[in-house]
Amino acid sequence: MEYTFLGRTGLKVSRLCLGTMNFGPYTSEPDSFDIMNKALELGINFFDTANVYGAMWDPAGVGNTEKIIGRWLAEDKSRRNKIVLATKVYGNMGKAPNESKLSAHHIRKACEDSLKRLQTDHIDLYQMHHIDRDTPWAEIYQAMEQLVREGKITYVGSSNFAAWNIAEAQMIADQRNFLGVVSEQSIYSLRNRQIELEVIPACKHFGVGLIPWSPLGGGILCGVLEKAKEGRRTREPLQKSVEKLRPQIQAYENLCKEIEQKPADVALAWVLNNPVVTSPIVGPRTILQLEENVKALEIKLSEEALKKLDEIWPGPGNQAPEAYAW
């Protein structure tokens, strides 16, 4: 396993991050335990979850994924110090008016609840799951700083932030002599390259580690033309996307055959090729999928292959404003 620093921090994390969204809805608890054990065995020390995960948008299941991880940690106390544990705050955790977003009230309560579900005394990376346009940064940071002082969280990260949100967050953190945001978790793959315009340049400038989610394009880049019998690849929305993108997908899968690599491995290797990327999130449903994901670390794409991938899945061509203005 390869390791790198999380953004501008001195914290080392594996070059692949274990995503846990499948734990509960698509992967049973025993199988989830096996996947986490295998991840440790493979050297993956970076685990990502969120307080809302657990039932794929079913309000009754929120928190279940954290509970599964908590029971796994409780099974062997030595596991906690072997992983960098990341979770998120923002999502709707109930029907009351203050059970979502980033008020100081909700941040405090959500953190305490996550700690209980995870059966741990601290969260290594506490991520804001979305920008909250109604809560001032002074209030957000007051809550985060307090949690740091209490030892309940160590680092603060963001997710789904625009570049200017990252810049604003860091400028205000500097004014408060606070470390601020050290990572940004954003959608990024060959299929979706919009963040190359501004988010990636912002991460590079501010020393924010980029943690791409959905690096396999929601299943589009997994060899989807081979019919799947189960799992998220069988969902109707994905199948509709396949039909819409079929020419690109076919060209992509043909290229992967040409370079003798599996489509999912090529997609991960492409994301890992970007120097701003810290750890793409992989969300295996099975141990076999996890083992396949790790193989991507061994792939070094040639300049010719990278050029062909750009032709099949074109990005903006440059960062803003050069991408659209002189």
pTM of the model: 0.94
The answer on pLDDT for 74 being more than 60 is yes
Residue 92 lies in a domain: yes
Range with lowest mean pLDDT among 58-62, 105-109, 233-237: 233-237
Q: Would the CA dihedral through 218, 230, 279, 180 be positive or negative?
A: positive
Residue 132 lies in a domain: yes
37: which 2 tokens? 């054990």
Answer whether residue 57 shows pLDDT above 90: no
Give the tens place of pLDDT for each residue, 276-313: 999 999 999 999 999 999 999 999 999 999 999 999 99
Q: How much helix, strand and coil, in percent to the nearest 5, is found in the chain?
A: 45, 15, 40
Q: pLDDT averaged over the chain?
A: 94
Overall domain count for the chain: 1
Structural domain harbouring 298: 3-219+263-302
Q: CA-CA distance, 17 to 19, in Å (whole number)? A: 6
The residue type found at 3 is Y
Question: Residue range 59-67: average pLDDT?
Answer: 89
For 2-31, write each residue's pLDDT tens digit. 999 999 999 999 999 999 999 999 999 999
* Vertex 122: Cα angle to 169 and 134 (nearest 5): 30
pLDDT at 237: 74
Q: How far apart are CA 224 and CA 234, in angstroms?
A: 9
On whether residue 129 sits in a domain, the answer given is: yes
What is the C-alpha to C-alpha distance for residues 174 and 159, in angstroms, rounded to an integer? 20
Report yes or no on 225 lying in a domain.
no
Domain of residue 69, CATH code: 3.20.20.100
Q: Give domain status of residue 240, yes or no.
A: no
Kindly name the residue from 3, 53, 141, 252 that is annotated as catalytic: 53
Instruction: Give percent of the chain above pLDDT 90.
Output: 90
Assess if residue 238 is contained within a domain.
no
With respect to residue 325, please indicate whether it lies within any of the assigned structural domains. Answer: no
Q: What is the pLDDT of residues 248-274, one digit of tens each?
A: 999 999 999 999 999 999 999 999 999
Tens-digit pLDDT profile for residues 205-225: 999 999 999 999 999 999 999
53 given a catalytic annotation:
yes
Q: Is the peptide bond before 321 cis (omega within 30 degrees of 0)?
A: yes
Q: What is the pLDDT of residue 227?
A: 63
Tell me: the pLDDT tens digits for 91-112? 999 989 999 999 999 999 999 9
Residue 288, in any domain of the structure? yes
Q: What pLDDT was estimated at residue 235?
A: 64
CB-side neighbour CA atoms (13 Å) of 179: 21
Q: What's 97-110 look like in SS3?
A: CCCCCCCHHHHHHH
Q: How confident is the model at residue 60 (pLDDT cuts 50, 70, 90)?
A: confident
Question: What is the per-residue pLDDT for 239?
Answer: 77
